[in-house]
Amino acid sequence: MHRPTQLNLYLTNRARLQAPWSQRGAIDAFERDWIAQRMSELGELSPPGSLAELKAAMKAQIEAEQQAPHDSETYVANHMPLGEFRTLVQEFAVDGLTEAQVFYYVLPRLPLEAQMPLLRIMIDEFGSGNIKRAHTTLYIKLLHELGMPTALAHYQECIGPSSFEFVNLFFWLALRADDASYFAGALTHLETVIPSFFECYAVACQRLNIQAHAYYTEHQHIDGFHAIEGQRLLTAMNATGVLDPAKAYCGALLASHITDRAFREAVAKARHATEQHACTTGG
């Protein structure tokens, strides 16, 4: 057995970028089972075999979602009272307070050309380096106006499992998925749907006279641009030979499924669960 060399160390370092935090402990098995379960719920997929097929399949998926009924969104926009809205804001606070921070782990997994569109998205997520404009700061302003705590630890104690799934999905995509294509598909899907999805929040803020609506309205504006960067990300990954169209499509569907569950369950919790509601006011 030869002694390892600096070359061996370098090659191992490069390889580890692709799975920096992979372990075989019980918590990783829990994560694998959870992701496998959610993937199995996606039903029969006809996986795209090329970039063009991927883009067409993602577009068709979004069109189908936009045809489907949106009872929870309609309720949030037109009827949800302020107390319930606070619970809804609570359920996405762990995401809002840590927004996009796990994306840093994806960047080195991509070829340089594909890092550029993701980096441009991240520059916006982090307010071009100005914390006052970082998306997390917009969430904090919303929490302030609603008289809610701004400590992450507070929300870790009160959000539901489906809200954690939304956050944990991005950890899996960024750190454990065996291919960055899953992340690219998931992110592109979400950036594409958010401008219309967040309309229900924007309307609710207007109806409830909430001034700190920028978290939602800024996303409605900027995610239109991020959706274009997402397409560029997929194109650059394809051009550099690292795109797996089937995995990117699976990532898009997984993000759609887990986001939909998180949103519906948060709305249901806001409407029905009084004891968790106390969490928003108690602390």
Q: Which of residues 223 and 244 has its CB atom nearest to Fe ion in the complex?
A: 223
> Toward Fe ion, which CB reaches closer, 86 or 226?
226
Min dist CB 202 to Fe ion, Å, is 15
Check residue 223 for interaction with Fe ion (CB under 5 A): yes
Size, binding site for Fe ion by CB under 5 A: 4
Exactly one of 226, 232, 247, 277 binds Fe ion (CB under 5 A); which one?
226
Least Å from the CB of residue 79 to Fe ion: 26
Site for Fe ion in 141-160 (CB under 5 A): none
Footprint of Fe ion on 10-29 (CB under 5 A): none
Query: If phi over 0 gives left and psi between -120 and 50 gives alpha, with beta otherwise, what is residue 111?
Result: beta
By C-beta, is 118 or 180 nearer to Fe ion?
Answer: 118
Which residues, 102 to 131, sit near Fe ion by CB under 5 A? Answer: 125
Which residue lies nearer to Fe ion by CB, 75 or 171? 171
DSSP 176: I
The kind and range of the H/E element at 37 are: helix 26-40
Find the shortest distance in angstroms from Cβ 200 to Fe ion. Answer: 17
Nearer CB in complex with Fe ion: 86/135? 135
When asked if residue 277 is in the footprint of Fe ion (CB under 5 A), the reply is no
Question: Rounded to the nearest 10 degrees, how much is the dihedral formed by the CA atoms of 107, 109, 110, 116?
Answer: 10
**65 class by beta-carbon count within 10 Å (0-12 exposed, 13-18 middle, 19+ buried):** middle
Tell me how far the alpha carbon of residue 205 is from its chain's centroid. Answer: 22
Which residue number, 165 or 223, has a Cβ lying nearer to Fe ion? 223
Nearer to Fe ion by C-beta: 149 or 195?
195
Please check whether residue 98 is in contact with residue 167, taking contact to mean a CB–CB distance below 8 angstroms.
Answer: yes
Nearest distance in Å: CB 188, Fe ion: 10
Residue type, 226: H
Based on CB atoms, which residue is closest to Fe ion, 109 or 226? Answer: 226
- 129 dihedral zone (left: phi>0; alpha: psi -120 to 50; beta): left
Least spacing, CB of residue 11 vs Fe ion, in Å: 34
Least Å from the CB of residue 54 to Fe ion: 20
Judged by CB under 5 A, the residue of 135, 154, 232, 247 near Fe ion is 135
Q: Interface with Fe ion includes 232 (CB under 5 A)? A: no
CA distances from 90 to 179, 257, 260 (A): 32, 20, 17
Residue 95 lies near Fe ion (rule: CB under 5 A): no
Burial, 24: exposed, middle or buried (Cβ in 10 Å; 0-12, 13-18, 19+)?
A: exposed
Burial of 230 (0-12, 13-18, 19+ CB in 10 A): buried
Q: Which stretch binds Fe ion (CB under 5 A): 109-117, 153-161, 223-231, 271-279?
A: 223-231
**Taking each helix axis from N to C terminus, what angle separates 181-197 and 214-239, rounded to the nearest 10 degrees?**
150
List helix spans (H) across 126-180. Answer: 135-145, 152-156, 161-171
* Interface positions with Fe ion (CB under 5 A): 125, 135, 223, 226
